[in-house]
Structure 1
């Protein structure tokens, strides 16, 4: 990670503005050319920060939000995970809901650290599997997850973004091997 020390910790309400900036910049970087540009250009950091505050303050605690804090206290990434969502039903499996980094932090170990901690916590909680959804065209993210031991399991579904249907593929990882 180029010498940076990294701490993974629980996200707080005080982090919401920075996490929103990470998420919006992450979307704008990762999804350029994959989702409509007007949608990406219209992403609003302040509105996103407010949604994060509302979720943290009113959530039932099942979703876990982590941040990666580099030396000097700079937040460099954010991950959210919890029970797998199958429609409105929750299962015994886990799901990575989100993993976003500042674009300039890609390739420096931040994503690996956040994902590793999410996998470790889900395994320790006894989840058998962890799932995530990724845009089919996001080859960088698909390689990243494959290197972390996740495999596309054949499930696909459309994801509507800015009035356009964008295909997502599901990846899964057996967590029993993590515990073993």
Structure 2
């Protein structure tokens, strides 16, 4: 499979939403309540992504970029969002806010291509380091990040999902981009 990474456009919203929902359902099974995962809607996510990709400042207040990984037919296989750190004290550091590949594309180089593009863009933007948050217990994601030179740094936070479910997240930093 040939994977190409490019800037996302509003026309990609449905594909990004499909990857978002399908990857959450596969990756977070057993980590989040079934009711949360079953309640995810590609249609609702498409609407949100259309607003985000059209530059709605209420959806993307931090000015993050979104890139998509596409196949030879331009179908969205995965996506990543990244930019200035959103956490207090981390504004000088780049953040990968989201990186997801469709489960049908896992282990096919999609995540690698997205990670590479995000890291290049953040380095070119002059950030002194890069961090991300991942859902605790997501061992597949942890292995992916570790293969790409990331490690947990002891940072942890608890976020409340819109469903009311409390999510424990771990901070990882890129070893090749010290913070």
Which TM-score applies when normalising by structure 1? 0.90
Gaps of 5+ in 1: none
Matched length: 173
Match of 2:165 in 1: 164
C-alpha deviations, 1:43-74, integer Å up to 9, x for none?
01111111111122224682100000112222
* Structure 2 match to 1:45: 42
Tell me how far 1:159 sits from its aligned partner: 2.3
Is 1:83 equivalent to 2:84 in the alignment? Answer: yes
Native 8 Å contact 2:155 2:170 kept in 1: yes
RMSD of Structure 2 on Structure 1 (CA): 1.7
- 1:69 aligned residue: 70
Cα contact 1:128–1:175 (8 A) shared by 2 = no
Partner of 1:135: 135
Distance (whole Å) between structure 1 residues aligned to residue 166 and residue 177 of structure 2 = 34
Q: What is the deviation of 1:175?
A: 5.1
**Normalized per residue, which structure has more helix?**
1
- 2:167 and 2:107 mapped to 1: Cα distance? 25
Is residue 20 from structure 1 mapped to residue 17 from structure 2 by the alignment?
yes
What residue number does 2:122 align with? 122
CA distance in 1 between counterparts of 2:177 and 2:157 reads: 26
Match of 1:112 in 2: 112
Higher mean C-alpha deviation, range 52-61 or range 66-75:
52-61
Partner of residue 148, structure 2: 148
Residue 174 of structure 1, CA deviation:
4.7
5+ residue gaps, structure 2 = none
3-state DSSP of counterpart to 1:33: coil
- My pick for the range that moved more, 56-65 or 11-20, is 56-65
TM value normalised by structure 2: 0.90
2:159–2:166 CA contact under 8 A, matched in 1? yes
- In terms of fraction of residues, the more strand-rich structure is 1
- Name the SS for the 1:34 alignment partner: coil
Structure 2 distance, partners of 1:164, 1:13, is 30
